[in-house]
Amino acid sequence: QVQLQESGPGLVKPSETLSLSCTVSGGSISPYYWTWIRQPPAGGLEWIGYISNSGSTNYNPSLKSRVTVSVDRSKNQFFLKLTSVTAADTAFYYCARLVVVAGECDWFGPWGQGTLVTVSS
């Protein structure tokens, strides 16, 4: 079964760039959409963006100017970059598969375990 694992620095300084990787195991990354979702400690869930199986991307307008999602199919990995971070970007960051089927409801699953990124000097 497909499993996802996030990796990257747990501490980022304000104004710098947050960079995370998600490694997909147990299946090929190619046929699917892949997405990032974040959750502030003790907070709710916010969708960040996705990359499709064709390489197109779509981002939450609230973050669009600062976000890039990319993929390396040869390594079965996808990535998140978030620029100019502030304390408000402190959160658990989850990678997940986005299941998109024509005529049906898109859904997220499975998810990685999540990684806490703290923005602080």
In the complex, the residues that contact other proteins under the rule CB under 8 A are 44-47, 58, 60-62, 94, 96, 104-109, 111-114
Taking the least distance from each CB to other proteins, the nearer of 16 and 100 is 100
Taking the least distance from each CB to other proteins, the nearer of 88 and 101 is 101
Distances in Å between the Cα of 27 and the Cα atoms of 4, 44, 68 are: 10, 29, 24
Could you tell me the smallest distance in angstroms from the CB atom of residue 8 to other proteins? 16
CB 28, CB 98: distance < 8 Å: no
Distance CA 99, CA 72 (A): 19
Taking the least distance from each CB to other proteins, the nearer of 82 and 121 is 82
